[in-house]
A and B are shown apart, each in its own frame.
Chain A
């Protein structure tokens, strides 16, 4: 910094941080006031510089922390996507397209794209191809598939602690453990999802032509191969939905849904229809299940009763020592928690000597009672 006694232009003052602080916030670390009064000529210059600062205000940017958090999360998503692309092309950096072999592969690939576009646009809408099968073939993570052929919903727990209540005639494919910065699962049919919160690893549900993205919420997706619409109903939290561009080749629109909102996606026209309040839509509310209608807010409720409600909601069987727990009461809110998390919270509140074990739809709680 220039010695201030040599300042002759107002520019000198304007770029001096300490001077700015003094004018704007009256923080006089370097005795500007005294220094100004020493010399009348100087005072004139200082006064002019002050006016400049007053006339040049730029307010502080106003973005709240939440917006920034969301943006950061989006950026991680972009990073992942880009890193993947780079990995594909890295092997032969510059002369990638010079290679004849690559050229022919590219030609085949492009041909494939054109034909799949043609296919999607002409055949898909009339016969509804099982997109689900194509999607899981593209995934290289080594997926586990669970099919519900029974007549009752089935509970599936995922490696991140999320749980999915899979309806009859539905399938879900998911990796045994989630690796990388994304959690991806594939649905055909209908399921109610309760996703454990992890801002760094967004959770994606691929269901026919749409992709649903969340960080930790609960919602229902209905995406049957033989139905003309896909439906997403949000129970808690925030859910973002896009059409899957690798399937639809169009429509980059993203729809954000909040609790009690729903979305109908027309598979024929690739259009979104947003419903702002599920509760006012009778046909929609009828399609929700016990799990959305039961409340998990408990106030001094006997633990035995809480466990019964869980059994009813998730269609599981819980084996627990009724006698030992009969005098235990809990006050807690378990809304918006996946099933494993609900059980964990209950066991923890009962004290150190309570644990649970889960095997399919069988749950065993071991306890010596509450402390």
Chain B
């Protein structure tokens, strides 16, 4: 009984987030629901053998991702996709409009947001897992099925490239506005 309660609690706490993550990896909503529910099914069935030390959130996220990848492999209607690497992270970052008061900030944020959304899908996913799900680099590596160094590169490259591009844009922006004056 206590187990069941804990399970329901775990489910209620994480389900919505996992569905959203799943939806950002596959457009097939029913499939995503199935995958997430299957992940929980396995957690219940193998609850004796799952080590207690695992970080729940990272484990759930990576299980959902792996299961979606497996479904993609299996299902013909995904066309060409055959391996975990071709999973695409489709979620777009949006803008915190409510927190922006002045136009200069709005412009900067708008450009930065555009650059962020233009990043390669895996870099975007790494950023999402790092800054929105709070996963460590280690955990991101295991979720994306790459080694630590690659995961670190994904994150580092994403931020580095972006800051460079962004500075260029801001300089350009400044140049344009000053020349207009």
Contact = CB atoms under 8 A, between A and B. Distances in A.
B131 A56 contact: yes
B130 interface: yes
A75 interface: yes
Contacts of A71: 11, 15, 33, 36-37
B68 interface: no
Contact of B155 (A11, A62, A74): A11
Interface in B103-123: 105, 108-110, 112-113, 116
Contacts of A68: 11-12, 15-16
B148 interface: no
Nearest to B132: A58
A55 to B, nearest CB: 4
B19 A75 contact: no
A55 B113 contact: yes
A63 B15 contact: yes
B94 interface: yes
A86 interface: yes
A10 B91 CA distance: 22
A61 B16 contact: yes
Nearest to B113: A55
Interface stretch (A76-84, A125-133, A267-275): A76-84
A371 interface: no
Interface stretch (A46-54, A104-112, A294-302): A46-54
B96 interface: yes
Contacts, number: 88
B171 to A, nearest CB: 14
A61 B17 CA distance: 6
A59 B127 CA distance: 15
B112 A51 contact: yes
Contacts of A54: 95-96, 99-100, 105, 109
A72 B11 contact: yes
Nearest to A23: B99
A32 to B, nearest CB: 15
Nearest to B130: A15
A24 B45 contact: no
B94 A53 contact: no
Nearest to A53: B96
B94 A59 contact: yes
A14 B133 CA distance: 12
Nearest to B18: A61
Given A52-B112, A79-B41, A57 B95 contact: yes
Contact of A83 (B45, B91, B108): B45
A62 B15 CA distance: 11
Contact of B93 (A10, A14, A57, A78): A57
Contact of A51 (B8, B16, B93, B109): B109
B11 A75 contact: yes
Nearest to B167: A48
A303 B16 CA distance: 47
A339 B95 CA distance: 56
Contact of A82 (B45, B109, B110): B45
Contact of B37 (A17, A63, A74, A83): A74
A79 B45 contact: yes
Contacts of B110: 55
Contacts of B131: 14-15, 56
B44 interface: yes
Nearest to B159: A11
A191 B74 CA distance: 42
A337 to B, nearest CB: 26
A58 B128 contact: yes
B134 interface: yes
A14 B158 CA distance: 13
Nearest to B112: A55
A363 to B, nearest CB: 35
Contact of A56 (B19, B127, B134): B127
Nearest to B114: A55
Given A10-B159, A75-B40, A51 B105 contact: yes
Contacts of A57: 93-96
A24 B91 contact: no
Interface in A300-337: none
Contacts of A72: 8, 11-12, 15
Given A55-B96, A55-B116, 15 more contacts: A9-B159, A14-B131, A24-B96, A51-B105, A54-B96, A54-B99, A54-B100, A62-B16, A68-B16, A72-B12, A75-B37, A78-B38, A79-B44, A79-B45, A86-B45
23 contacts: A10-B163, A11-B155, A24-B96, A54-B99, A54-B109, A55-B93, A55-B96, A55-B110, A55-B113, A56-B93, A56-B131, A56-B132, A58-B91, A58-B132, A59-B94, A62-B16, A68-B11, A71-B37, A72-B15, A75-B11, A75-B40, A78-B38, A79-B41
The list of the 3 closest CB pairs from A to B, nearest first, reads A61-B16, A55-B113, A55-B112
